[in-house]
Amino acid sequence: MAISPDSASRRGEALSLPKYADVCAAAERLAGRAVCTPLLESPWLNERIGGRLLVKAEPLQRTGSFKFRGAYNCISQLDPAARARGVVAYSSGNHAQAVAAAASLLGAPATIVMPRDAPAVKVAGTRREGAEIVEYDRATEDRAEIAERLARQKGATLVRPYEDDHVIAGQGTVGLEIAAECRVRLIAPDIVVVPAGGGGLMAGCALALSAELPDAALYTAEPEDYDDHARSFAAGSRQQVRDMSVATLCDALLPVQPGERTFAINASRVRGGITADDGAVLGAMAAAFRDLKLVIEPGGAAALAALLSGALETGDKTVIAVASGGNVDPDVFRMALEAGENV
């Protein structure tokens, strides 16, 4: 697949990207810190897709999402002086909580830039971990600029949500665990689907799975109107979201376009992208609760939603969907359960 030049190549630079070995090293750092989450299965969900469906249960991860893996892998590699100066991050919630928790474990003060309309459960979780929260307006302010300014002022380290090699490597431990459990259970997956915002989870998983399960076809999953990964894979270059004003419940999957580093990893390893609308997402959340006893947030349910709505041919195939997080406000979860009554 051809990739059009991004900023590094325009400057005549080659991107230095994380490798499979970096994911393996991250797994060693995370041993005893991150939860090794299971692959869950339900005969009712298998029946719905006409094949075998396993769900990687990252809502059971520390802080309720996969983001703890990357945050801890990144912050744990700072020297003592850098940890003492602290870390800064920007996030609508899951990366925020993860950085706050990892920083607390490692003795580093944390400042998190969060949108004023972030889900209350995510704000509360971030504050509970002891982080300082700086609010901003999604519509009028640039969260990255605010975070970069704060990091300069404090002499702190900026922990980016996906455009960071250590973060990508940490997220890739999800893929290592999928491969390890598949080996133990003698499972040979045909397809693995991973929710994508900036693409860090997919990039880390792609590094791991292309090495350990090379026959599995990899796909991203996104909200219907935020399909920048799907269109980027089709075009061979990074595409932007067409209209950021369109509402979606999937607050965790709203970057404007795939990351430069993440897309450079994913473009040669990921087969394509699929999408789901909010109705399918709510239905998937209800199905996961009913059939797996698992609470998934809207963005975390994108892969399951896309599969249950028939975005891929799954008949007689073994499919893995990553459920990436479970930090959902009660009102939204209630909507999902009500929607599920009609599914």
DSSP conformation letters of 96-151: HHHHHHHHHHTT--EEEEEETTS-HHHHHHHHHTT-EEEEE-TTT--HHHHHHHHH
**Last-in-domain residue among 163, 195, 228:** 163
Are 151 and 217 within one domain?
A: no
Cα gap 66→286, rounded to integer Å: 21
Mind listing the pLDDT tens digit for each residue in 81-104?
999 999 999 988 899 999 999 999
What's the mean per-residue pLDDT of the chain?
Answer: 94
Q: Is residue 269 part of a domain?
A: yes
Are 183 and 263 within one domain?
A: yes
pLDDT at 215: 98
Are 190 and 107 within one domain?
A: no
Closest C-alpha among 168, 175, 211 to residue 192 = 175
Question: Torsion angle of alpha carbons 20, 25, 27, 32, nearest 10°?
Answer: 180
Are 175 and 87 within one domain?
A: no
Q: Which residue has the tokens 């700086």?
A: 134
Nearest 5°: phi and psi at 131?
A: -80, 150
Are 57 and 111 within one domain?
A: no
- Could you tell me the residue range of the domain that residue 86 belongs to? 67-163
Are 153 and 215 within one domain?
A: no
Kindly give the parts of the chain with pLDDT less than 70: 1-14, 342-343
pLDDT at 138: 86
Say how many domains are in the chain: 2
> Do the beta carbons of residue 302 and residue 281 sit within 8 Å?
yes
Q: Is residue 198 part of a domain?
A: yes
Q: Is residue 3 part of a domain?
A: no
Residue type, 52: R
51-to-15, 256, 281, 340 alpha-carbon distances in Å: 39, 34, 20, 21
**Last-in-domain residue among 163, 180, 209:** 163
Contacts of 139 (CB under 8 A, 6+ apart): none
pLDDT at 9: 42
Are 195 and 142 within one domain?
A: no
Residue 125: helix, strand or coil by DSSP?
helix
Mind listing the pLDDT tens digit for each residue in 49-69?
999 999 999 999 999 999 999
Are 212 and 304 within one domain?
A: yes
> Do the beta carbons of residue 239 and residue 232 sit within 8 Å?
yes
> Do the beta carbons of residue 79 and residue 104 sit within 8 Å?
no
pLDDT at 6: 47
Are 189 and 263 within one domain?
A: yes
Please tell me the pTM assigned to this model: 0.93
Are 118 and 239 within one domain?
A: no
pLDDT at 4: 38
Are 243 and 102 within one domain?
A: no
pLDDT at 223: 97
> Do the beta carbons of residue 289 and residue 340 sit within 8 Å?
yes
Cα gap 142→161, rounded to integer Å: 15
pLDDT at 3: 36
What is the CATH classification number for the domain harbouring 144? Answer: 3.40.50.1100
**Last-in-domain residue among 113, 140, 163:** 163
Are 279 and 191 within one domain?
A: yes
Q: Is residue 32 part of a domain?
A: yes
